Amino acid sequence: MIGLVLQAELTEKSYLFNTGKSFKSYGFLGCHLHDNKQAEFNVWAPNAKSVAVVGDFNDWQDSPLEQIKDTGIWHLDLANVAAGDLYKFAIVGPDDERILKIDPYATQFERKPGDAAVVTSPITHKWRDGLWLGRRKRSNAAERPMNIYEVHLGSWKRHADDSYYTYSEIAAELIPYVKKLGYTHIELMPIMEHLLDASWGYQQLGYFATTSRFGTRDDFLAFVEKCHLANIGVIVDWVPGHFIRNYDALYQYDGTPTFEYQDANRADNKRWGAWNFDLGKAQVQSFLISSAMYWLEECHLDGLRVDAVSNMLYLDYDDGKEGLINKNGDNRNLEGIEFLQKLNQTIHAAHPDVLMIAEESSAYKGVTDTVENGGLGFDYKWNLGWMHDTLKFFEMDPVYRCDNFRLLTFAFVYMYNEQFILPFSHDEVVHGKKSLMHKMPGDRYNQFANLRTMMTYLLAFPGKKLRFMGSEWGQFLEWRDWSQLEWVDLKDAMNHQMDDFTKALNDIYHDERPLWEQDYEPAGMIYSNTDDAASSTMGFIRQGKRKRQFVVAAFNFVPVERKDYRIGVPYSGEYELLINTEDERYGGTWTKLETNFTADNTPFHGQPASFTATLPAMGALLIKPIKLNRG
């Protein structure tokens, strides 16, 4: 029998949960182990006839929970429970069917194919990343460099016997590798527990549990801390829109639609073979926002990349749902929109310095605008339109690029509509789409030349950057989630030179403030020569906050060298080369570089001064001023 004091305490916590205001509900729901080997179990199952916990501690025999009146929460205190014990909840629904269910708040699960929760001790990790967190709070991320290395932990590296690396082993190799190449952040594809490897983690089982594939929760905390001590941020993909199909997971948790929509058509996500969360339900909001808060607060993540936002914004986004409309007569998912706004407001109120990133594939307006202005409140949005158009352009035979130049220039129209991250992500190098290297036209030399030019274009274009693992050296094979990257490629001279190029390019990005400090300000971009489709060349200037601090970018998208290529600049004076993509050090053909340029007072393309350079065939130049005349 629950005591009166405990009853009152649980009733108060349940009220907040049931009204969508419990943003750290992981603090009381789930299993909580105390020092005296007594565990407290609390679970939300409002329509269940009975709930029991079964596990190693009771020989998998029912230990019944007591329902807290008018809350939908069931409670039990149980003795002789130890860390490492496996358990599940046995739930009898309104139809008298008894089903073993996972603990939605479990912080660890057993290794697949099993899906029992694991009793875990409270977090006792003594964090040492205070300097990192302090710098994060004091800095404005929009005005800082952000160069993200996207990683799938299961296929970055594996042991010779094809077994997974542990979190500790990954930390020992991934962190110095990312540091050496000059990336600022690691973005992990979902590391929340999931059963199906082929889902890459996007069909999640545990919303508070790191996957057991690579170790324990505490091992993951140590990985994050080591990243921070190396001055590398950690972002993780998170999926609040839909959950795993399995009947012993969240689906019809208490025998009725609990986490998913009551309407079976809205609940069923046909495209991904999953169930859609009922984002308008207060308890689901408490659950999901608590999940986000857990990863950001308890695990010290620097940001969440929210997957499949479009699926939460539109009623008709999924197959077979054409024609669904809301009370206003349009196709917007009003409760989905309100949930995303509430999510971002809640997270930023508690942690204004963490990054909330939307993977949103439509042209929905205001994804990164404030909620007060009617926006969704995200910090950044992946620019999928830029990504698709850029890749389509570079996949073309260069002879056709002059007729399709709009694929590049169209992005100038909307580049400041949102705060964008420019991604070359995992989605573009899988399922027969080919690797970035394989997409490039021509023989092997020309493929590398195109890849270097495209990566320089990514670096120079306004917006933060993201590249998927393996692209740094131009892996030819398409990504395979079931095996490690083709590290053997680095024994090849051209792949090794491409890897050196990536490091050089990333170092330039980090060192040159104009390339990142005004990414989202129109003043950060000066259009010099962006409409020369006939020659398939382009030039523009990235302007820093200081008037005389800028970087000139010039591109040649065809294999025809352009001698005496004139580039307009704001000042006459002396300029120097930052990088030439055709430098022989990086696999190009130039053995002798033009390293210095003198701009005179010849006006060109709206600029008062200009200089000439030889623009390499299928190549790019980055140039900066070193001594400017008064002007």
Cα–Cα dist 33/497, whole Å: 53
Average pLDDT over residues 105-110: 97
pLDDT-derived band at 84 (thresholds 50, 70, 90) equals: very high
The continuous run of DSSP H or E covering 342 comes out as helix 334-350
Are the CB atoms for 66 and 1 separated by under 8 Å? yes
| pLDDT tens track for 133-170 | 999 999 999 999 999 999 999 999 999 999 999 999 99
Calculate Rg over the CA atoms of the chain.
27
Closest CA to 221 of 210, 207, 235: 210
> Is beta strand 63-64 parallel, antiparallel or unpaired with respect to 50-55?
antiparallel
End-to-end, the C-alpha distance of the chain in Å comes to 83
Q: Where are the beta strands (DSSP E) in 433-500?
A: 464-468
Are the CB atoms for 117 and 108 separated by under 8 Å? yes
Mean pLDDT over the full length of the chain: 96
DSSP 3-state of 143: helix
| pLDDT tens track for 249-305 | 999 999 999 999 999 999 999 999 999 999 999 999 999 999 999 999 999 999 999
Residue 590 structure tokens: 């130039």
The continuous run of DSSP H or E covering 564 comes out as strand 562-569
Closest CA to 133 of 308, 373, 297: 297
According to DSSP, residue 477 is labeled S
Distance of CA 440 to the CA centre of its chain: 25
Residue 319 structure tokens: 């197959």
Average pLDDT over residues 351-375: 97
198 pLDDT above the threshold of 90 = yes
pLDDT at 501: 98
Cα–Cα dist 602/55, whole Å: 81
Cα–Cα dist 104/269, whole Å: 20
1 pLDDT above the threshold of 70 = no
Cα–Cα dist 32/77, whole Å: 10
CA distances from 75 to 7, 43, 51, 78, 223 (A): 10, 7, 9, 10, 34
pLDDT at 383: 98
| pLDDT tens track for 312-345 | 999 999 988 888 999 999 999 999 999 999 999 9
Cα–Cα dist 187/303, whole Å: 9
Distance of CA 142 to the CA centre of its chain: 16
Average pLDDT over residues 587-593: 96
DSSP 3-state of 495: helix
Q: Which CATH number fits domain 4-118: 2.60.120.1090, 1.10.1200.10, 2.60.40.10, 1.10.630.10?
A: 2.60.40.10
Cα–Cα dist 203/190, whole Å: 9
Show which residues are catalytic: 307, 359
Which of 486-513 are b and which e, b meaning 16 or more Cβ less than 10 Å from the residue's Cβ?
A: beebeeeebbebbbbbbebbbebbeebb
Cα–Cα dist 247/55, whole Å: 19
The structure tokens 């490492």 sit at 84
According to DSSP, residue 277 is labeled B
The continuous run of DSSP H or E covering 148 comes out as strand 147-151
The continuous run of DSSP H or E covering 530 comes out as strand 525-532
CA distances from 57 to 36, 79, 301 (A): 14, 9, 33
Can you give the pTM of this predicted structure? 0.97
Q: Where are the beta strands (DSSP E) in 367-429?
A: 380-382, 420-424
Are the CB atoms for 64 and 52 separated by under 8 Å? yes
Closest CA to 301 of 287, 291, 315: 291
For 517, list phi and psi in degrees, rounded to 5. Answer: -80, -15
DSSP 3-state of 279: coil
Domain positions in the chain are 4-118, 151-511, 522-628
DSSP 3-state of 402: helix
CA distances from 254 to 94, 114, 283, 524 (A): 8, 21, 14, 54
| pLDDT tens track for 560-577 | 999 999 999 999 999 999
Q: Residue 97: how many CB atoms within 10 A of its CB?
A: 11
Cα–Cα dist 203/244, whole Å: 5
Q: Give domain 522-628's CATH superfamily.
A: Golgi alpha-mannosidase II (2.60.40.1180)
Distance of CA 224 to the CA centre of its chain: 15
Average pLDDT over residues 483-494: 97
> Is beta strand 66-68 parallel, antiparallel or unpaired with respect to 30-33?
unpaired
The structure tokens 């294999």 sit at 559
Residue 267 structure tokens: 């609940």
Asked if domains 151-511 and 522-628 share a fold, the reply is: no
Are the CB atoms for 603 and 431 separated by under 8 Å? no
Distance of CA 618 to the CA centre of its chain: 31
Are the CB atoms for 376 and 340 separated by under 8 Å? yes
Topology of the domain comprising 151-511: TIM Barrel (3.20.20)
Percent of the chain having pLDDT more than 70? Answer: 99
217 pLDDT above the threshold of 90 = yes
pLDDT at 491: 97
86 pLDDT above the threshold of 80 = yes
CA distances from 552 to 320, 457, 588, 595, 624 (A): 49, 12, 21, 14, 6
The structure tokens 């690396």 sit at 165
pLDDT at 8: 81
CA distances from 159 to 33, 54, 424 (A): 35, 36, 27
